[in-house]
Amino acid sequence: MTLEEWKNLASTLQSFATIASFIIGGIWVYWKFIRQQEKYPNIEFLADIDFIGIQDDWWVVEIIATVDNKGKTQHKMNEFKFDLNAIYTEDQVNVSPKWGGQVNFPRLLAEGSFLPEKIDFFFLDPGTKAKYSYIVRIPKQATFVILHCWFKYADKRNYGHTAEKTIAVPGYEKMKNMKIDSV
């Protein structure tokens, strides 16, 4: 083979290698971002209720939202809100179509945002876990409470996340047993 033929062969092989690398790169991008959906949120979102103590006729309570970004991209969220509802001892335990046939908690105790007024959004970097809390009060006559939390992703898809927690007010079982014993 002449030098010119070697150059032509090397040029042809280089073209094939370039095409192969584009194909391999395209397959990798497809696999990572389409099949594995790495560009979309991989968020763990939990709600919790922590009874701190009683003063006067109120429980002082911390409601907590924990957001854990287990994905590989940063996510920006907004409309980070909550509501807290209760059932009192005198309330009937009814279900509601509003909640998909679940128990209705008719007493709104608190609603608001985990974000301060001057902040419109929050973001979480990959691997970051953030805790947001809000202090509320719950009347002692409440027997059960339910916390609903939600946020929306700040992108064009208009998707969001929700988390809920339902709990008996501490001492309710003791009160109930005392009433049964005294009958």
Give the pLDDT of residue 174. Answer: 58
Q: Report angle CA 124, 26, 14 to the nearest 5 degrees.
A: 135
Which ranges of the chain does DSSP label H, i.e. alpha helix? 3-29, 172-182
Give yes or no for residue 183 having a pLDDT over 70.
no
Give the pLDDT of residue 25. Answer: 76
Give the pLDDT of residue 155. Answer: 80
Using pLDDT thresholds of 50, 70 and 90, give the confidence band for residue 181: very low
pTM for this prediction: 0.74
Using a 10 angstrom Cβ sphere, with 0-12 exposed, 13-18 middle and 19 or more buried, the burial of residue 92 is exposed
Range of lowest pLDDT (44-53, 70-79, 151-160, 166-175): 166-175
Task: Give the CATH superfamily of 43-181.
Answer: Immunoglobulins (2.60.40.10)
- Sorted by where each begins, the domain ranges of the chain are 1-36, 43-181
Q: Does residue 148 contact residue 83 with C-beta atoms inside 8 Å?
A: yes
Written as one string, the DSSP assignment of 54-75 is EETTEEEEEEEEEEEE-SSS-E
Distance CA 157, CA 124 (A): 18
